[in-house]
Amino acid sequence: MTVLLSGEWPWYVAGPLIGLFVPALLITGNKVFGISGNLSHLCAALAPGKLEFFRYDWRKAGLWNLVFLAGVLIGGFIAFHAWPAQEIAISPQTTAALTRLGIHDFHSVAPRELFTWHALLTLRGFVSVVVGGFLVGFGTAYAAGCTSGHAISGLANFELPSLIAVLGFFAGGLAATYFILPFVLGGL
């Protein structure tokens, strides 16, 4: 219990807790755990245009999930205020590698060199927030799922499409980490 209340959660506590959201949603209303569908639902609700992809009843298909998503935002807010912020205890090798790339602020959940309003006006901030966000939205819609829908729900259901998608997640993540980030961070 003290582990849950303070300090960082070990992987064998965090992982099973995340996995339990799959049966929790199935038992509640036969819903499949997956966050990225909400981006489509929001597009369908706010700006469907004349696009066939967004012409469906988002209330019937996704209201439950949008409510879940609102909860995620509130949950983040609660956790942020209920526990004192602490440094993310990453491995010393990661700290060294990132320091070489020009990251020096290790005090919060994300480096302030990249993730502040001020940094948005720099190339590295713009690429991290705006370009990165766009690729997340485009990629998850194209792949029909993200980490929750494919890597957790899909793999747990032994689906081949999800395995292909997860291999893609890693191919893209490694490419960005080793080829794009050094260029974007090191250039400034």
Partner 1 sequence: MTTPLVSEFDGCGAGAQEEQLVRPAFLLVYLLLGIAFGVVLTRSEVLSWFRIQEMFRFQSFRMYGIIGSAVVTAAISVALLKRLGLKSASGESISISRRPLGAGIRYAAGGTIFGLGWALTGACPGPLFALVGDGVSVMIVAVFSALAGTWVYGWLRPRLPH
Site for partner 1 in 76-105 (CB under 8 A): 76-80, 83, 88, 90-91, 93-94, 97-98
Q: Does 109 bind partner 1 (CB under 8 A)?
A: yes
Q: Which of 99, 100, 104, 155 binds partner 1 (CB under 8 A)?
A: 155
Q: Does 168 bind partner 1 (CB under 8 A)?
A: yes
185 belongs to the binding site for partner 1 (CB under 8 A): no
Question: What CA–CA distance (Å, rounded) separates 119 from 157?
Answer: 41
3-state secondary structure 132-170: HHHHHHHHHHHHCCCHHHHHHHHHHCCCHHHHHHHHHHH
Rounded to a whole number of angstroms, the minimum distance from the CB of residue 45 to partner 1 is 11
182 binds partner 1 (CB under 8 A): no
CB of 188 to partner 1, least distance (A): 15
Position among 1, 84, 121, 145 found at the interface with partner 1 (CB under 8 A): 145
Q: Could you tell me the CA-to-CA distances from 177 to 88, 126, 171 in Å, in that order?
A: 19, 16, 10
Beta carbon of residue 177, minimum distance to partner 1 (angstroms, whole number) = 4
For partner 1, how many residues bind (rule: CB under 8 A)? 137
Q: Which of 99, 100, 104, 172 binds partner 1 (CB under 8 A)?
A: 172
- The vertex-83 CA angle with 82 and 89, nearest 5°, equals 155
Task: Give kind and range of the element (H or E) at residue 101.
Answer: none
Tell me how far apart the alpha carbons of residues 183 and 54 are, in angstroms, rounded to a whole number: 36
Residue 113 interacts with partner 1 (CB under 8 A): yes or no: no
Terminal CA-CA length for the chain: 44
